[in-house]
Amino acid sequence: MATSYVANASELERQQRITEQLERALESRIVIEQAKGIIAAERRVSVDRAFELLRGYARSHNADLRTTADAVVRLGLRP
């Protein structure tokens, strides 16, 4: 019985970790898409080009893409 409980608890923890990872990924995707839209509109470029600009800025500043996108959306950063 105890073995079954431990196995179920372990599976529950694994499922919770996966759920949290998926939620973070979705949140990242949302803010990245928003940043792409802002850059594309302001620069009058395609969203693909906006993504290249966003990614290039993040790489050249050793920042992660989500943080850079968040700065575009919330702080007015314009790469």
Tell me the domains of the chain and their CATH numbers.
Answer: 2-75 (1.10.10.10)
- The yes-or-no verdict on residue 7 having pLDDT over 90 is no
Cα 79 from Cα 77, distance rounded (Å): 6
Opening angle at CA 63, ends 45 and 22, nearest 5: 85
Residue-level pLDDT at 6: 66
- The yes-or-no verdict on residue 61 having pLDDT over 70 is yes
Question: What is the band of 2 on the pLDDT scale with cuts at 50, 70, 90?
Answer: low
* Average pLDDT of the segment spanning 31-59: 98
